[in-house]
Every structure is written in structure tokens, then in C-alpha cells.
Structure 1
Amino acid sequence: MSTREPVLSVRGLGVRFRMRGGAYVTAVTDAHFELAPGECLALVGESGCGKSVLASALLGLLPRNAETNGSAVLGGLDLLAADERTLARTVRGRRIGLVPQSPAAHLTPVRTIRSQLRETVRELTAVRGPGLDPAVGAAARRAAFPADHLNRYPHELSGGLAQRACTALALIGDAPLLLADEPTTGLDRDLVDHTVDELARHIGADRAMLLITHDLAAAERIADRIAVMYAGRILELTEKQAFFGDAGPCHPYARGLLDALPERAFTPIPPKVLEGARHA
């Protein structure tokens, strides 16, 4: 890990939702981690464990009945304390580039990819006039999106190309943090490898990536560290080599998650381990 100032520092982040009648449902509890320049941290766990809620908290995209605590500092700004105006104007796209879980839902269906790239270039950069179309072409090439598909609409794209379009949009602002939320959902194995390799190319000296995924193979391919989440808590945070190495993870749930992979023991996680993880 780098000894430089972290790109993102999360301390005690918690999220709960106020339900009708005044009861609360807790989704994330006391999350702690840092993300260094040039690093990819993979936040892994089963569906419903709180990974995407944590991502939404960083972006300020939680519903109105959500309450947060703790801090998440990016470039001197506490994302959890920032108001909507600040998040919309200075964070989304500029400080955090989002590669969403569902490209089809993220892309505007009635506009071509070229049109959506042009709008984002105008919004996030100083490029105007004659330089706009070359900038759009450069943005497409950066995400390996084919130029001959720029005039197509989202419904005319394959899942992989839609993902590349979203990646191109996420990279335009050169945000220091790339947040990839389940970027490989629904893709076959070869396309998963290709997608995560493309994302990894954009981690640089001043940029880092938080990869949120249930796909441990994707995490092993590009992450530097692994954070394991269950029932809203980060149970283990370790170097990739230690997690996937012979010794394996320390926490019983993390070991169970790894052993459940088809290429490993393919053993279901015992209920007692799940219950222990819930109360860890």
C-alpha cells in the first residue's frame, strides 16, 4: 500500500433505515477502511449483505428514510456530511466515477451513446465547440467502446458494450475514486475477465478503485486487498495474497465464503458460521 494520503478514509460508517411505526433496520454497521492511491479494494460478500448500501452512502444516493453516522472523507470532504448541492456539483462524476450495477438502468434509453458522452464531457470538462467530438471519441476509446457503435441506443448494445459505455461515462471526469458496483453481473466468465481488466487499467498514481462484488474470481484477478462483509459488517480486511493463499482468511465466515466456490471445496457455509458472523 502507498504511504501517501488515502484517496478515501471511512471511519465508523453506519446506515440504518427508519421504517413506518418508528422502528429501524440497520444495513451497515461501523465500517472502517482506507483506500490508497493506485489501489483496488474489493468489498465482497453475498447479495444483501450491505455492499451496495455502503456505496450509495458514499454517493449520497440513499433514500430519505436513511440515517448515516461516522465519516467518509474524500479529498478533505466528508461525504456523509455534504449536502445534495455539493454532492451533485462537486462529487458525482468529478470526485467519484460510478460504474453502476445495471447499465440498462443507468443509460438514458432514448439517447444515443454519443449524445450521452457529449453531455458528460460538456458537464465535467472544459472542452467545448470543435474539440467536443474528438473528446467523445477519446472517451470511448479509453473504455474500449467501438466508435462505430456510438450512434446506437442502449437497447441496441450487448451487456458487455453497455458496461463499456457506462465505464466511459465514469472515466470522463478523471475522478480520484472509481466506484464499480457489481460491474460484472450477468456477464459470462470471459467477459467478466475482460471487464475487470479494463477497469484495472484506469487505476493510477492518483486514482483508486472500490470494487463491490460477490464475484470472488473477479476480486482475485484485480484487487490488492479484500474486505469481507456479512450482515452489514466488515468481518475481515486483508491482503489479496493472504486471503487467497494457502493459509486463507482468518474469520470462519470468510473461510466459508471461499470454500463455497465451485473450484474449491464447493461446501455450503454451515449455519452456525453464519450465525456467528451475524453477531461478530
Structure 2
Amino acid sequence: MNPEEKIKSLRLAKGLTQQELSDQSGISLRTIQRIENGEVKPSLYSLKKLSEVLEVDLVGFFKDSEKETFVPNSKHSKTMNGLFSSFTLYRIPLLGSLSLVGLSILTFLFWPNSRPNESQESQNYAFEVATVNCGSETECDIEVTKKDHGGNILWQKTYGGTSYDKASQILPTEDGGCLVLGSTSSFGAGNYDVLLLNIDGSGQLVWQKTYGGFFNEYGEKLKSTSDHNGYVIEGTKQTCPGANVSADCRDFIWTFEINNQGDENGIKTLGDKFD
């Protein structure tokens, strides 16, 4: 049984609605919905709170589940007290071939478990991003690591606020830095907002932007525009019939463009419902 199925079955066995489980555990309704839909992995803190209400050791269950689904030769990234997702992208020095750069980006978008030490000699450094520190009351932070072609750490820094800050994708930039796309409840206008970090080659935060309104917005994918004068962000945007987040809220695919400074250019698309 998948972890999300386990939580749902335990909740139903106790005759609890998602709202009741949220009220008793202190975990937001939207978080519980996303966990049961398999959209996110619960943090260690969330697992402990849910375990108290459901009277089952979910922490132990999730650890056993991870052991059963272990795939040999997959990349082992550093964890800090919690579960996280990690993505690695490599920057290839410009060799007069944009297609080579594009191939590199596509390769690591769709195969995020490629090992840094398996890169080609032409790749002079790598970026890794992870969601970490998920075992505390303040929940998660974003950790970015820059490594040389031999896998040695050049720097490793943590970004985020006092609540949930989660990474979805990292994209190298021409100046030697990177952009990190994710979601945040530490900053922004509402519950969750799309988060974009611009980090220079030494790990300093150049600027930080959030996108969204009062309800939940999540950043999932980031790519350069065809004219290379900005970026396209794809994620989900929540719409609700009332003034507050409820079980009647729905998520839709949300796409919008920004310029190289992170400012929205007004081109937005609200797509089909996100199931």
C-alpha cells in the first residue's frame, strides 16, 4: 500500500473527514488533500502529528516503504531531519552550440537521479537543490549546493523563511548562478505562493519573488522563453467558491511569463483542472 493510501485508509477507518483530521492534527486541510492525492511527501513533523491522531507509527511506515522502493545506483542526496525531493542540473560552458545546452537541461529535467560524478569532462560545475529541515515546527527550507566537476562542494547554502519553503526545480543562468523555483508559505500574499530565487555564482541571493494571491499557488516547472528575454513558469493555481480554503477548492494549471528581473509581463494562462 502506498503511503498516501495508508493515510487515507486510516482516516476513513476512524470515520474522519479530511477537515476533521486537519482540525485534530493541526495540519492544514490543503496539505492533507495533497498528501492523500500523492502530490507531496509529508514532512517528518506532519507525519508525527498525523500519527498522534491516527494512532499509527506513520514515520516507521514511511521508512519501511522507502526501503522497499529503493532503486540501486540512484543518487543519495543529503537530508536534514526530513523528507525532500532533489534535482540536479549541470551547466555546460558555451561551446557555440545552443543545442548542446538544451540537451543537457532536458536530460536532467527528466532524469534527476543522474549522478554528479558521472558528468562529462566539459561540465565544469553542477547545482543541486533540495528541500530540507522538514522535521521542525518551522518546517522546510531550500538548500542549494554548487559542486565542481569532481563532485567537490564549492558552497552550500540554505534559503527560506519561518514556515514552508519547498524546491521544485533549479535552472542555471548565464552569469554562473541559478534560478530556483518552488513554493512558499513564509512569504507572499496568501497561504502558498509560487517562489522564485535568483542566486549568483557565489551563493548570494540577488532577488526573491513570489507570485499568487490569497489561496494556494505552487511553482512546478521553469524554462527560458524562446527569445531568451525571460522565463515561463508553470504550476497550479487554486480557486475557491468562498473566502477561505475549503474542500470545494479546485486546482488549475497556471502558466505565466516573467522577464529576466522576475517581473510578470502580463501573459497568463489558466488551463484545465489539475487532477
TM (norm. structure 2) is 0.28
User: Greater share of strand residues, 1 or 2?
Assistant: 2
RCO higher in structure (CA 8 A, sep ≥6): 1
User: Greater share of helix residues, 1 or 2?
Assistant: 1
